[in-house]
Structures are given as C-alpha cells and as structure tokens.
C-alpha cells in the first residue's frame, strides 16, 4: 500500500471509528503525494491526487472542484493516463507555479469512494523542496441533480461536509540538476559554463566584436584559428608619377589616391618673342624665345626700332633728303661718314682782269662769270692833231696828240 493510501486509511479510521457524533453525511476529501519527491531539472514526475467522498452519503456529479497549485520550481503539464475518468480539466494556467482546476463532470461519488488523478509535473527550476498544495470544495451554486424536477434545486454544499480537515492537502518537490557532458565547441570563442539555475551549459563566449575601421582600407576577416579579427586590408599603393607635376594625396573618403598636382599654367607672353616650352626636368615653363637680333646698319641712316606687333626690327631711318640748290654751283654729294649731304660745288673763281675794263659779273643762269666790261670807245678827233692812245693804267684814252707848234 502506498504512503498516501496508508494516510487515507488512517484518516478514514479516525473519522469513521472515533466516536464524535458522526452523522450520515458526505465528506469531500483530498490527499496528494509527489513521486519522486525530487526531480532533475526538465524531468517529469507524477503527482498522485487521491480524491473522492469520505462520507457515508453520496456526492452527485458536477458538484466538486479540485485545485492543485505547484511552487515556482515546477509546472503542471496536464492529466496523465490512468486517472479517474470522472474528473475533467476545467482550467490550466501556463508556466512555473501554475494551477490546474478539475471538476467531476463525468460522475458522482458513492460512500467512501476514493480514486486517483495522476498529474504530470515537470521540474522547471533548480531548488530545494517547494510546496504543492491541493484543495477540494463544492462548486458554488445549485445542482439540478440533487432534486430531479425541482423548481429550485438545492445548493451543492447541501450534500454536506462531515469534516473540513481533509479538504486540503500538501506535498513538495525538489528540483536538482543533472549535469550533462560539456558541449563540444562549435566556434573558437565558445566558453561553456554550467548554469545551476537552468541546469544547462550556458555558452558565455561571444565572438570578438569586429573592430571599428581606423583606416578606410581596413578589411577585417575573422580568423577561426587565432579566434581574432585579422585586418587583411591594405592601403592602395601610391601611384607612380607620370607627369612631373603629379602630387598624389590619399583621400580617406574615397579611399583612393587623388592627384592634386596640376601642370603649371603657361605664362602669359610679356614680349612678342616669348616662346614657352614646358621643361619636364625642372617642371617649369622655359622661355625659349629670344628677341631677334638688331640688324647691322647697311646705311648710315639706318635706325632700327623693334616693332612689338610684328615682332621684327623696323628700319625707321631714311636718307636725308638731298638739299635743294641755292646756288647754281651747288653740287651735293652724300657723305656716308657724316651721313649728310656735302655741298662740294663752289662758285667759279672770278677771272683775273686781262683788260682794265674787264668787269666780271656772275651769271646765275649760266653759272659763269660774264665780262660785262668794255673798252671805252675811242674818242672822235676834234682836232687834227688829236692822237688818242689807250692808257691801260687809267683805262682811258689819252690824247697824246698835240698841235704842232706854230712855226716860228
């Protein structure tokens, strides 16, 4: 005989055979026992609920309600096979410390009629023994089965309760851990610690957080051998210079090398002969242009002036204009030494007088000396003795004739 049944018999003997003025009455009674009294976490056991009528009267169906509540370490899962079929589940809450309510919807109880309900209870949390409470009561309200055809059926409680000392019962269950083998590592970071509350291995290992990028080229790849993040990214190689002005600067936004260098701007011409050629050695513009050499003088009057429009030397010099003649004898000859016109012409020298009467006058038309002088006309004789002789000293006619002396 089970312990529970022994207790039931014990109480039955007390109630039935101990004289106490016991009346003919019904007596709802409950006794509960957990087996085993200690469960491994997540393992299940059977709670035996022995319920029925301890009295010598009967109890009709649908008049009793049984309530079973477990502690925080366990959970009632439901009615197990082999239970008294007169009882059906009225309500079942979910989770640890839940409650189930049953009613005798499928049959009443005769005198001293006790049978078992088996409830499956699972250990949810490791703990020492925690109470399980059982209670049986009449369902509040009237029941037509107590008076067939009555206009006002009696209340369920009218069936009587010979002793309320057997209306409640309690037992307990402890939940312990069964420590399974530590799981094999799946990931290099797995670190298993046994949790005595959940009775399971907790994986408290976590993969190392991927590092934040410091450089735009950072590329972190998890290395399952070292269990660390390897930075496989490398900065792009700085490009080789193609042009002397290339200046590569790393752009952290685009993660590429930007060529910030630009070829120096070709200088503006200052002189018309400027000719700028880019020198890749010095990376600067060389002025290869030179001003055309000033031409050598061919003529003394040559005057070379540089023309910035044509970028050539203009000969602005001209030979001095040959002077106009002032004198008929003027003869102008260009002197390349003095770069001037020399008047090498001279007036013809006035001829020497040959005759005293000579009178030379320069003729500008013929450009010669004209002898305008004439010998004085020989005077006509007045006297017979007149004898005119030309005197070259006085340039006059001297009358050298004299009258013959009168003869004596």
Q: Which fold has domain 3-176?
A: Immunoglobulin-like (2.60.40)
pTM of the predicted protein model? 0.47
Q: Mind listing the pLDDT tens digit for each residue in 17-37?
A: 333 333 459 999 999 999 999
Q: What's the pLDDT score for residue 14? A: 41
The domain ranges of the chain are 3-176, 380-408
* Mean pLDDT score, 52-64: 96
What ranges make up the beta strands (E) of 43-86?
44-53, 64-69, 74-79
Instruction: For residues 289 and 278, give the distance between their C-alpha atoms in angstroms, rounded to a whole number.
Output: 13
User: SS3 for 55?
Assistant: coil
What ranges make up the beta strands (E) of 183-339?
192-195, 200-203, 220-223, 228-231, 248-251, 256-259, 276-279, 284-287, 304-307, 312-315, 332-335
Percent of the residues in the chain that have a pLDDT greater than 90, as a whole number: 89
Instruction: For residues 134 and 129, give the distance between their C-alpha atoms in angstroms, rounded to a whole number.
Output: 16
For residue 166, pLDDT beyond 50: yes
* Mean pLDDT score, 279-288: 96
For residue 8, pLDDT beyond 90: no
What is the pLDDT confidence band of residue 338, given thresholds at 50, 70 and 90? Answer: very high
What is the pLDDT confidence band of residue 200, given thresholds at 50, 70 and 90? Answer: confident
For 142, which DSSP code? B
Place of tokens 């039931």: 8
Instruction: For residues 54 and 111, give the distance between their C-alpha atoms in angstroms, rounded to a whole number.
Output: 7
């Amino acid at each position: 005989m089970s312990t529970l049944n022994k207790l039931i018999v014990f109480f039955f003997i007390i109630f039935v055979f101990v004289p106490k003025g016991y009346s003919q009455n019904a007596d709802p009674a409950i006794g509960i026992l957990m087996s085993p009294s200690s469960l491994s976490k997540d393992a299940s056991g059977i709670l035996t609920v022995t319920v029925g009528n301890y009295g010598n009267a009967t109890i009709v169906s649908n008049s009793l309600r049984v309530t079973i509540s477990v502690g925080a370490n366990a959970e009632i899962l439901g009615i197990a096979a082999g239970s008294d079929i007169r009882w059906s589940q009225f309500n079942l809450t979910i989770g640890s410390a839940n409650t189930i309510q049953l009613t005798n919807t499928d049959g009443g109880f005769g005198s001293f009629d006790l049978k078992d309900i088996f409830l499956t209870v699972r250990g949810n949390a490791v703990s020492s023994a925690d109470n399980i409470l059982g209670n049986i009561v009449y369902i509040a309200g009237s029941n037509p089965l107590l008076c067939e055809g009555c206009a006002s059926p009696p209340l369920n409680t009218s069936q009587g309760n010979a002793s309320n000392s057997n209306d409640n019962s309690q037992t307990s269950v402890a939940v312990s851990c069964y420590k399974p083998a530590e799981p094999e590592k799946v990931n290099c970071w797995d670190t298993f610690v046994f949790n005595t509350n959940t009775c399971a291995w907790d994986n408290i290992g976590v993969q190392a957080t991927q590092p934040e990028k410091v450089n735009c080229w950072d590329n972190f790849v998890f290395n399952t051998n070292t269990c660390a993040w390897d930075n496989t990214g490398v900065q792009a190689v700085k490009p080789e210079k193609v042009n002397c002005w290339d200046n590569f600067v790393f752009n952290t936004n685009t993660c590429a090398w930007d060529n910030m260098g630009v070829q120096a701007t070709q200088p503006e011409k200052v002189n018309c002969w400027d000719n700028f050629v880019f020198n890749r050695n010095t990376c600067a513009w060389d002025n290869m242009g030179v001003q055309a050499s000033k031409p050598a003088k061919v003529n003394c009057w040559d005057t070379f002036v540089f023309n910035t429009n044509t970028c050539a030397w203009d000969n602005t010099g001209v030979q001095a204009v040959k002077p106009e003649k002032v004198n008929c004898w003027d003869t102008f000859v260009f002197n390349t030494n003095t770069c001037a016109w020399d008047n090498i012409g001279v007036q013809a020298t006035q001829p020497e007088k040959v005759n005293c009467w000579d009178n030379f006058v320069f003729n500008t038309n013929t450009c010669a000396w004209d002898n305008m002088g004439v010998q004085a006309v020989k005077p006509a004789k007045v006297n017979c003795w007149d004898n005119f002789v030309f005197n070259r000293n006085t340039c006059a006619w001297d009358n050298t004739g004299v009258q013959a002396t009168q003869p004596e």
